[in-house]
């Protein structure tokens, strides 16, 4: 499927800001190599942050799930900036007031949280609230599993009912989980499970994205839009496209999934 106009704008936005780049020697958190990386931490000005939030807002509106959402929750650290950017965008562009929230890496049990061991920074959860989780990418989804545990723990602590409406990623890496040998080392070239599909099967939480990486790269290649390659701005060459395609063939998922919503 071809990218919609706003998804094309998103692809250009990521490349023009250097958030999506190609470089030899890149290694993911799970230990596997990757020819490309998406670093939305580069979107660190007011203008860029607002623009990023607008793309996530557009996706939520497109999905028609806004009436179910009370709180925008981004896992620390990059997801927290996305949640706040969305909240600001919703108010300034749509006059819709939503809470934004993000998790702590450790309990807080002092000040306003004395004796409570809060796991959420803004303490915005309330009984019956609907939560929309946002983050930049998902590889193993380990951070998202941990976040769901924190949400459950926060609900139990406050004795309230909370529901996760869905989870939206900026980019779907369309990637399987890593496989490891008995010593804990990554097994090169071996595919694990579809990380996003397994997440939904395990948790019941639907996963969405603004755009899948295969279609983003296809668009950039066909339009010959300059991206950062080895630190220099240039269109994606045929040889680099082959490297990318081979990478998805080696570690990627099927292009059609049952559980990852387009």
- Is 9's pLDDT higher than 90? yes
- Is 239's pLDDT higher than 50? yes
Domain extent for 11: 5-261
Sheet holding 232-234, edge to edge: 36-38, 20-22, 227-229, 232-234
Mean pLDDT of 219-237: 98
Q: Please name the residue that has the structure tokens 């009912």.
A: 161
Mean pLDDT of 151-169: 95
Residue 101 phi/psi, 5° resolution? -145, 155
pLDDT score, position 106: 64
The DSSP call for residue 110 is S
- Is 222's pLDDT higher than 80? yes
The total number of structural domains in the chain stands at 1
Q: What is the mean pLDDT of the chain?
A: 91
Mean pLDDT of 237-257: 86
| pLDDT interval class at 254 (50, 70, 90) | low
Write the CATH number for 122. 3.40.50.2020
- Is 232's pLDDT higher than 60? yes
- Is 112's pLDDT higher than 50? no
pLDDT score, position 116: 52
Q: Report the C-alpha gap between 250 and 83 in whole angstroms.
A: 33
pLDDT score, position 253: 87
pLDDT score, position 262: 47
Model's pTM, two decimal places?
A: 0.91
Q: What percent of the chain has pLDDT over 90?
A: 81
Other CB atoms within 10 Å distance of the CB of residue 173:
24
Residues 6+ positions from 32 with CB-CB distance below 8 Å: 178, 186, 188, 251
| pLDDT interval class at 21 (50, 70, 90) | very high
């Amino acid at each position: 499927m071809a990218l919609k106009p706003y998804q094309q704008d998103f692809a250009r936005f990521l490349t023009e800001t250097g958030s999506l780049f190609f470089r030899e020697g890149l290694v993911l958190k799970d230990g596997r190599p990757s020819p490309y990386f998406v670093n939305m931490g580069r979107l660190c000005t007011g203008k860029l942050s607002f623009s990023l939030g607008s793309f996530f807002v557009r996706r939520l509106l497109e999905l028609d799930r806004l009436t179910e959402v009370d709180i925008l929750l981004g896992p620390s650290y990059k997801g927290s900036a996305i949640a706040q950017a969305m909240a600001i965008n919703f108010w300034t562009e749509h006059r819709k007031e939503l809470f934004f929230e993000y998790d702590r890496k450790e309990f807080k049990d002092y000040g306003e949280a004395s004796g409570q061991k809060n796991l959420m920074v803004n303490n915005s959860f309330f009984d019956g609230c609907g939560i929309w989780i946002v983050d930049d990418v998902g590889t193993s989804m380990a951070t998202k599993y941990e976040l769901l545990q924190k949400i459950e723990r926060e609900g139990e602590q406050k004795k309230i009912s909370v529901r996760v409406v869905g989870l939206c990623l900026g980019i779907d890496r369309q990637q399987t989980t890593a496989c490891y040998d008995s010593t804990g080392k990554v097994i090169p070239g071996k595919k694990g499970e579809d990380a996003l599909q397994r997440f939904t099967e395990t948790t019941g939480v639907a996963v969405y994205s603004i755009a899948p990486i295969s279609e983003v790269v296809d668009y950039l290649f066909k339009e010959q839009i300059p991206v950062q390659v080895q630190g220099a701005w240039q269109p994606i060459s045929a040889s680099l496209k082959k490297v990318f395609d081979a990478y998805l063939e080696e570690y990627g998922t099927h292009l059609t999934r049952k559980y990852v919503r387009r």
